[in-house]
Structures are given as structure tokens and as C-alpha cells.
A = this chain, B = another copy of it.
């Protein structure tokens, strides 16, 4: 059986494992204050800064958390006041697949229809205006920030133009913009992408570089570019159970992935295989539910084809299209062998 169910089926890139092994018996202080975390913070600050730019990367808060739900919850809870909610695409992870984690911190997720998993600056402005223009706005949840994911849950990407518009609108409306980068590597290395890490640092108030799905055992590196939002963030990490005792495990993993570009190379690998797969589906005459340029692909297949493929391949049901067709999801990852993709294409 070959699995395309998700991008977190395996452990970590061998280089990560090797570094964890090599440093295993060293003694360091805990909770992210060790030299490896400091080193990883430095690497990330550098990657997020354009050289020659007068900004001060030292003011960029960098924190390491363990997983996506924890990261989203901690960031959002740290930003909102009690009466505020977070604007988010209806399909957003925080709105659907986190068991009400955001609500558990007291905040409503304010759904925006969006399109292909993305929301536009115009939609944000509309939601904002709709709130403030309502005579009863004090009886409603006030939009307090914006959450987006990139790539989205549908594998789609924000263009630099779209993100710039979102940024400008959010800035104007005083809404912090938070970008969930659980699959950021696969976004940055897509042929369709025109955003860089310094762009993200410039165009969002908080974003994270996902490790769990891109070569790490676990871990998300949060970058807080607005110093006001960084105040006391570590308390809230601790309160939300997100401060790992042996914090260096996170620093070490991001060091291994980011110090020489490994993170980007393995992301490119996954994207390439996903596109190869997409082209094969299209070549075989199937339609895609969504035009995704990243490592998740959503072909619409006849149910009997799905049944046949399932004999040798595992993948996720996504949604029913009509009585005889369903959309399914195939994920490639940093460690999918090309031979697995070839076997699938062969089976098609």
C-alpha cells in the first residue's frame, strides 16, 4: 500500500533525525531559551529580511510551537480582546478542523465565503463595513483580526498582489493579519508563487513557517513582525501548553531545515511530484476540483476508479460530486518517492 493521505505520514528528514541524535546528550536550558533555538531564530530573522533594508530584524519575535492547532489558538488568543472575533474563510482550518479551539478561548470565528479557500481584501472590507454600519454593532462580534492560510486547505496560493491588498486593507482597518503557514514550504516553492519570506514578514503581522508537514517531526516557527503583538507572547504559549520543556528540539529541527535551504529543496520536490500527478490526472481526462499549484491535488474521479485505485493506494475522500463521482485528495510530501507517483500514474 502506498499512502497519499497526508503530508505527515512519515517522521522527519534524515538530516533532522541526525542532528537530534548528535546533540541528544547535550545539556541545555529548557523552554526555548537554549542556543539552538537562538541560532534558529537568527536564521529565520535573516531569511525574513531583505539585506540592505533598514528594518530591524531583532525586533521580529520568533517562537517555536509544536503543532498547528496550538499555534493558531495561541496567536489568536494573544491578539483579540474578549468581544472580538477572527475573520476567516469558511473553509479555514480554524473554522472546521480544530474542534472549536478558537471558541474555547472565547472568540467567534467570523466566516467569509471566499473562493477556493482564499479571501480577498474586498471581502474583508465588506465584513468590516457590514459590522460597523450595522446600527446594532455593539450586539455583534467585532472583527478583530484576519486569519488566512497559505497554501490554503485547498492547496491554493495568495499572489503578492492579493496579499498586498489584504495587508493594505488590514492596516487601514487596524486588523492584524495572521497567516497560517502550516504548508508554507510547498507554497513558497510552487511555480505559481511570487511571494518570498521577506514579503510575508512585510505583509503580515504574524505568520508561521510550518515544520510538521515539511520535514520536521513537529514544530511551527511563529514570526511576529509587529513588536506590539510580541509582548508577553511566551506567557500565552505557556498557558496554552505550547512551551516545550526541551525546547531545543524545535530549534534544532528548524536549524537543520533552514540553515542551508533544505526546507525549500524538499518542498520543491513535493510540489514537482504533485504537478506531475495533476498533469497525469488531466491527461487521463479527469477534471480537478480545484486548480492547486502545490502538494495537494483534488481530482474528480468515477467511484469505480477510486475503488480500483484503493487496492494499492491510500488517499482521502474529499467530497461527493454526483452519484457516480467524488473528489479525492492526494498529498505528496518532502519524502514521497518519485516511484510512488509513477506507480499511481501507471495505475491510472
B-contacting residues of A (Cβ < 8 Å)?
A: 3, 5-6, 8-12, 14, 17, 20-21, 23-31, 66-71, 73-74, 77-78, 81-83, 85, 96-101, 103-109, 135-136, 138-142, 212-213, 217-218, 232, 234-236, 238-246, 249, 317, 335
How far is it, in angstroms, between the C-alpha of A28 and the C-alpha of B11 when the chains are bound? Answer: 9
Are B140 and A99 neighbours in the complex by a CB distance under 8 Å?
A: yes
A218 engages B245 (CB within 8 Å): yes
Minimum CB–CB distance for A142 against chain B, Å: 6
Q: Which of A66, A68, A78 has the most CB of B within 10 A?
A: A66
- Complex Cα distance A107/B106, Å? 8
* Contact between chains at B317 and A135 (CB < 8 Å): yes
Q: Tell me how far the C-beta of A18 lies from the nearest C-beta in chain B, rounded to whole angstroms.
A: 8
New A-B contacts (4) at CB < 8 Å, excluding given A8-B246, A99-B138: A6-B30, A103-B107, A103-B141, A135-B317
Asked whether B142 lies within 8 Å of A232 as measured between CB atoms, the reply is yes
CB distance A100 to B244 under 8 Å? no
B residues near A8, Cβ cutoff 8 Å:
30, 245-246
Alpha-carbon distance A105/B74, docked complex (angstroms): 13
Interfacial chain B residues near A83, Cβ < 8 Å: 99-100, 232, 235-236, 238-239
B9 touches A30 (CB 8 A): yes
Separation of A104 and B246 alpha carbons in the complex (Å): 23
Sample of 27 A–B contacts (CB below 8 Å): A3-B27, A9-B27, A9-B29, A9-B30, A10-B24, A10-B26, A12-B24, A66-B241, A67-B244, A68-B245, A70-B242, A78-B82, A82-B104, A83-B99, A99-B140, A100-B239, A101-B238, A103-B107, A104-B105, A104-B106, A105-B106, A108-B109, A138-B235, A142-B232, A218-B244, A218-B249, A240-B240
Copy total for this chain: 4
Contacts of A138 in B (CB 8 A): 31, 99, 234-235, 238, 243
Least Cβ–Cβ distance between A2 and chain B, in angstroms: 8
Docked-complex contact A245 and B21, CB < 8 angstroms:
no
The reply to whether A17 and B11 contact each other, CB–CB distance below 8 Å, is no
Q: Which residues of chain B have C-beta atoms less than 8 A from A29's C-beta? A: 5, 9
For A139, list chain B residues within 8 Å (CB): 97-99, 238, 243
Cα of A240 to Cα of B83 in the assembled complex, Å: 10
Most buried by B among A9, A104, A105, A109: A104
Contacts of A140 in B (CB 8 A): 96-97, 99
Q: Please tell me if the beta carbons of B81 and A100 are within 8 angstroms of each other in the complex.
A: no
A140 to B102: give the CA distance in the assembly, Å. Answer: 12
Contact, CB under 8 Å: B101 / A107: no
Contacts of A5 in B (CB 8 A): 29
Question: Which chain B residue shows the least CB distance to A233?
Answer: B83
- Complex: chain B residue closest to A136, CB-CB: B97
What distance in Å separates the Cβ of A10 from its nearest Cβ neighbour in chain B?
5
| A164 → chain B closest CB, angstroms | 29
A68 to chain B: closest CB distance in Å? Answer: 8
A110 to B296, CA, bound (A): 28
By the criterion CB–CB under 8 Å, are A70 and B241 in contact? yes
